[in-house]
Chains A and B, each alone.
Chain A
Amino acid sequence: MKIDPIHQFNIEPLFTIGHIGNQTIAFTNSSLYMLVAVAIISLLMLASGSQLVPGRLQSVAEISYEFVASTIRSTAGAEGMKFFPLIFSLFMFICVSNLVGIIPYTFTVSSHIIVTVGLALLVFFTVLIYGVAKNGLKFFSIFVPHGVPGYILPLVMFIEVLSFFLRPVSHSIRLFANMLAGHIALKVFAGFVAMLGFSLGAIGWVGGVLPLALTIALYALEILVAFLQAYVFAILTCIYLNDAIHPGH
């Protein structure tokens, strides 16, 4: 019995869709789980009925709606509601795919950095393009904080510009690293139980209780992290969009 905590992140092509240049574009297990996430969200939101007194499924759909809506209102104001579909899609996509990915033998879409980079760049360019289109050059006033003495302003501006362009990096790596590390840790501890048992026999199985307890605790933590990282991603998106909507602040 050998612990291989990396195997769960393998991308396995299921069938080929086509070619771009000399790159083969395949429908992979990752694509399958994206499809699963989209299907679950669609089912939840569309098949849950719209009764006056909501059932369980409809309550979940409405709580998600209200949750994301209130997050946007509190961070980006009422004007931020024009990005409601985007933020709702981001939050639900990440949250559902993370929660699906925590089921054993499944694949976690956001444990691949290219996916989180794709989502973070989507947010980054949305902020940039909307900010410039709405405010023109005034948008770049977010790099010039108020009340900073003149002699230190160039340094502050340099830091502000740098941090602005580093946003997609931190935005994507936070989600990716959390999911990756969590799943590796789970796999290591869970594998440890089996390894002890198979190599030491009865004593090993008894000794495996400790890593098993740790695995269970980690599993609960990972469920929290799966939701929390989706929330963090969504709220950071709101905060970045707030810069584009109200660059004066």
Chain B
Amino acid sequence: MAESHGGAKGQPANAHTEADGGHHSGGFPPFESSTFASQLVSLAIFFVVLYVIVSKLALPKVGGAIEARQNKIEGDLAEAQKLKDQSDAALKAYEGELASARSRAQAIGNESREKANAQAEAERKALEQQLANKLAEAEKTIASTRTTAMSNVRGIAADAAGTIVQQLTGVVPDAVSVNAAVDASLKG
């Protein structure tokens, strides 16, 4: 077995020059059992090396990078959510403030309108009272004027009656009977 595979220096040249001869007498290279030990040993060495590199260095590094990115994304999303909540709260506060200001403005408006109405009403009443007073006074004046005028009318009628009687009869009637006659006709 040693001679079929030994002499590593001489073997490659042989293999290159006559591809079908030499140590290919066994035929198919994958079934050449003399090479199995070498391949298994190198496979063991390199696979162990690879396993150590992968498990100790490569996977922690790449996994760490992925995890760091994941954490960063989650942190950023949480931050964005927090800011959104804050702005929502600010918006809500603003809207509340606006609504209360609006209702306050309305209240103030109502109040001042009522006050103005009441004042106008009071002024109107005072004015009406004043007008009513003036009306009553004027009526009183009219009434007194009328009575005065009526008494004047009686005097004038008595005078006129006395004069008419004097013109017709030439006799001056006495004042008492003339007055009695005027009163009687005024009543009638």
Contacts and interface: CB of A to CB of B under 8 A. Distances in A.
B38 A93 contact: no
B99 to A, nearest CB: 45
Contacts, number: 158
Contacts of A37: 46, 50
A167 to B, nearest CB: 19
A45 interface: yes
B8 A24 contact: yes
B59 to A, nearest CB: 6
A11 B50 contact: no
Interface string A92-123: 11000000000000000001111100110010
Contacts of A176: 30
B69 A24 contact: no
Interface of B: 1-2, 5-6, 8, 11-12, 15, 19-20, 24, 28-32, 34-44, 46-47, 49-51, 53-55, 57-59, 61-66, 68-69, 72
Contacts of A122: 47
A21 to B, nearest CB: 9
A27 B12 CA distance: 12
Given A88-B54, A92-B54, A16 B2 contact: no
Contacts of B53: 38, 41-42, 45-46
A112 B30 contact: yes
B8 A9 contact: no
B123 to A, nearest CB: 79
Interface in A109-152: 111-115, 118-119, 122
A119 B38 CA distance: 15
A35 interface: yes
Nearest to B69: A52
Nearest to A20: B37
Contacts of A115: 39, 43
A15 B8 contact: yes
A153 interface: no
Given A30-B42, A65-B59, A84-B59, A113 B54 contact: no
B66 A4 contact: no
B62 A24 contact: no
Nearest to A15: B8
Given A118-B43, A180-B30, A24 B54 contact: no
B58 A50 contact: no
A45 B61 contact: yes
The 6 closest A-B pairs by CB, nearest first: A45-B58, A85-B55, A31-B42, A50-B65, A13-B8, A9-B29
Contacts of B12: 12-14
A10 B66 contact: no
A24 B5 contact: yes
Interface in A43-60: 45-46, 50-52, 54, 58
Contact of B28 (A6, A35, A85): A6
Contacts of B42: 27-28, 30-31, 34
A7 B27 CA distance: 11
Output the residue of A31, A34, A54, A114 with the most chain B CB within 10 A: A114
Contacts of B59: 45, 65, 84-85, 88
A15 B35 CA distance: 13
B66 to A, nearest CB: 6
Contacts of B24: 10
Contacts of B55: 85, 89
Given A11-B29, A25-B41, A176-B30, A66 B57 contact: no
28 contacts: A9-B28, A10-B19, A11-B32, A13-B11, A13-B38, A14-B8, A16-B8, A20-B41, A23-B37, A30-B38, A31-B39, A34-B46, A37-B46, A38-B46, A41-B58, A45-B61, A45-B62, A46-B57, A50-B65, A65-B62, A65-B63, A92-B54, A93-B50, A112-B30, A114-B39, A114-B40, A115-B43, A118-B39
